[in-house]
A = this chain, B = another copy of it.
Amino acid sequence: MSSTTSGSNAAPRGRQFFFNPGPTNIPDRVLNAMNRPALDFFSEEFLPILARTHANLKTVLRTDQQLLMYASNGHGAWEAALVNLFKPGDKVLLLESGRFSASWGDMAAQLGLEIELLAADWRFGVGMDRLTERLKADRGHAFKGVLAVHNETSTGVALPIDQIRKALDAAGHPALLLVDTISSLASLDFRMDDWGVDIVVGGSQKGLMMTTGLAFTGISRRAMAISETGGARRSYWNWKDMLTHKPQRFPGTTPVHLFFGLDESVRMLLEEGLDAAIARHTRLARAVRAAVAHWGEGAKSSVSIGAKGISGPVKAIELLPADPARASDSVSAIMVPDGHDTNVLRKVAVQRFNLSLGGGLGPLGGRVFRIGHMGDLNEPMLLGALSTVELAMRVAKIPYCPGGVTAAIAALDV
């Protein structure tokens, strides 16, 4: 047999199953929309694309207030929100949820803000009682803003943003409410205007099914008014300069190709219907959790998690979020029994079966793997991924109870 016919099995065959929690699957329609020549960004052909994307994205945020976009990733939108609203020395309250709340706090500190962390077990996220209490205690209204991550991508814990608003209202606290929706938008129910959110931070590459490179902030009228006279020194992120054109101007060149893609992906989302898309995420997430529960035979450990990692022994496969009401519908973090390494599992999955899974971040490295189930996803894609997780656990010798996929199929409300 010649070498060309015996070959090597170097690259796994078939399409990669991409179940990272960001970036996510990009539909062919979106990639094709980007596969075109450039346009003059001031041309009559491009400006309607910009305007339509703006308008449709506001529909996705459920807002009729302001939206501004940036040639950046989501961290850029974080920074834009901070520098347009706060000056060095301003104090903000940061609700701990995991790795990404910590990063946002680090950024705020680098920019000179004073951060107070409202600490929480990562398996639960901050309780509303403690939040209300802390806000009430801030009688002088030292906090200029409250920073919350709607869906903590590192843990799969989702915070109840509407209740955070209620806590602010109950405390009569005027702090601005800033919410990171990077991994929740278009996947979990979110209502900027109804919930009184002042700043929505979002990015193109997760529920919006696009490549990375565009980010944005929804901005309430109150936040916009504050930015007009306040904030820190800024130029690239400066809202005022962007508002000289409708719907907005970019500092420098407008990234037209990224708009070609986002225009298409947001249209696909609205064709499906935002409610329908969110219901789909709810339905599929339930199947994931049914599989996980089956693999671990319903194990409930008593471990807690914080910046130092997992507090005690994990004996069986178990979902990281301990409060079912806060289990995310867009990403699931899964703990494996002590003595097993999720990076081995992930390597088997991707190298042998072409399934890409998320790993544990920071203190959860090796102890947790994550399944992103947001964006362009349907039943066969998800069930194929869950089946292959089961297969990879077998190969990686991680103890599990077979039949998780059968449980997932049974849990699908169809």
Which A residues lie at the B interface, using CB under 8 A? 1-2, 4-18, 20, 22-28, 31-32, 34-43, 59, 62, 70-76, 78-79, 88, 106-107, 110-112, 203, 205, 211-213, 232-236, 238, 250-258, 270-277, 280, 350, 352-356, 358-359, 376-388, 390-391, 394-395, 402-403, 405-406, 408-410, 412, 414
Contact = CB atoms under 8 A, between A and B. Distances in A.
Given A10-B271, A71-B213, A211-B258, A107 B35 contact: no
Given A18-B37, A379-B353, A274 B13 contact: no
A235 B111 contact: yes
A212 B71 contact: yes
B272 A213 contact: no
Contact of A405 (B213, B350, B377, B387): B387
B43 A4 contact: no
A107 B235 contact: yes
26 contacts: A4-B270, A4-B274, A5-B270, A5-B274, A10-B271, A13-B280, A15-B37, A15-B378, A16-B37, A18-B38, A18-B40, A20-B38, A23-B256, A70-B72, A71-B71, A72-B76, A73-B253, A73-B254, A75-B251, A79-B235, A110-B234, A355-B380, A379-B388, A391-B409, A395-B414, A403-B403
Contact of A378 (B14, B277, B383): B14
Nearest to A75: B252
Contacts of A238: 110
Given A13-B280, A383-B387, A387-B405, 15 more contacts: A2-B59, A6-B275, A9-B272, A15-B378, A16-B37, A17-B384, A26-B37, A34-B34, A39-B356, A71-B76, A107-B236, A213-B258, A355-B380, A387-B387, A391-B412
Given A71-B213, A110-B238, A384-B387, A38 B11 contact: no
A5 B250 CA distance: 28
Contacts of A112: 233
Contacts of A406: 390, 402-403, 405-406
Nearest to A26: B38
A28 B26 CA distance: 13
Contact of A257 (B39, B211, B391): B211
A234 B111 CA distance: 6
Contacts of A111: 233-235
A390 B411 CA distance: 13
Contacts of A15: 15, 25, 27-28, 37, 376, 378, 381
Contact of A7 (B4, B88, B270): B270
B255 A213 contact: yes
Residue among A5, A43, A394 with the highest chain B CB neighbour number at 10 A: A5
Given A376-B14, A395-B414, A275 B38 contact: no
B43 A37 contact: no
Nearest to A354: B378
Given A75-B252, A211-B255, A356 B40 contact: yes
Given A12-B378, A376-B14, A383-B405, A73 B212 contact: no
Nearest to A236: B79
Nearest to A6: B275
Contacts of A376: 13-15
A387 B273 CA distance: 26
B255 A377 contact: no
B79 A13 contact: no
Sort A-B residue pairs by CB-CB distance and give the 10 closest, nearest first. Answer: A7-B273, A384-B384, A14-B378, A75-B252, A383-B387, A211-B257, A380-B384, A212-B255, A110-B235, A5-B274
Contact of A352 (B9, B73, B356, B414): B414
Contacts of A24: 38
Contacts of A7: 270-277
Contacts of A385: 380, 384
A94 to B, nearest CB: 15
